[in-house]
Chain A
């Protein structure tokens, strides 16, 4: 079990995570609304930003590495796999497989 020895320090990871999340949010808006890229390219880029920001929540805000960190990371990784299979898989089957 990882001990939180740095608990009395300044909350740097939260502040860095917060700034990083704001930057990613505005970058996604910029790419989506203020570039002339194709819809497919925009979707790929902004979803990459979304997954990065989700990782910021898990690792910098939610203390996922504490406690049973290995199991917790494995749980969320498998949940991400299930989510991608369900959401992208359904979309792909319904639009490309007729």
Chain B
């Protein structure tokens, strides 16, 4: 079972120094496993509806009045969003690297850069949704666009939560300093942030790239 009583040495990172810290980190991985299952059900819905309503089993499209995804998707914007989130995952990793060197100021700087990149991603996604709505693709247009907004919206909600969470953790580090407790919180919120990009890889691939090619 969980190694809560592992030996703690001078090289042990702060977030692993308390047994509660080790348990919390392990527990968060269990939570991430559940998040994978949640997103899998939404992807299942999306792919099934996509294959029926956009690809069409018999060679013709029947999206039910709305525009096709390939008519609205644009690779440039999607690629910029992908690179923003990927870079934010990288800078978040650098923040943890600095945290382990006890460079709190540098850690804060990388976390703030991570937040700004995440915010830029979110702003682009909101503008994308507004643009699609103007083109006649809203969550109520048809089954395809419902599943599209359900999937990208659930991911976008996770990004929003991640931004709020990380701001609160930054404030706590600012008030309390870097301790085994706050370091654990920074580390766990960084796992969550990496996970946002982990899911986005599959949204980018399965929704946008396939959507641009497959219809």
Contact = CB atoms under 8 A, between A and B. Distances in A.
Q: Do A and B bind each other?
A: yes
Interface of A: 1, 3-5, 7-8, 11, 14, 17-18, 21-22, 25, 28-29, 32-33, 39, 42-43, 46-47, 49-50, 53-54, 57-58, 60-64, 66-68, 71-72, 75-76, 78-80, 82-84, 86-91, 94-95
Contact of A66 (B16, B33, B39): B16
A32 B33 contact: no
Nearest to A11: B97
Contacts, number: 162
A67 B3 contact: yes
A98 to B, nearest CB: 9
Main secondary structure of the interface of B (DSSP, over half): helix
Interface of B: 2-3, 6-7, 9, 11-13, 16, 22, 25-26, 29-30, 32-34, 36-37, 39-41, 43-45, 47-48, 51-52, 57, 75, 79, 82-83, 86-87, 89-90, 92-94, 96-97, 100-101, 191, 194-195, 197-198, 201-202, 204-206, 209-210, 212-214
Given A39-B213, A61-B93, A68-B3, 7 more contacts: A18-B87, A28-B205, A32-B212, A57-B195, A66-B16, A68-B2, A71-B26
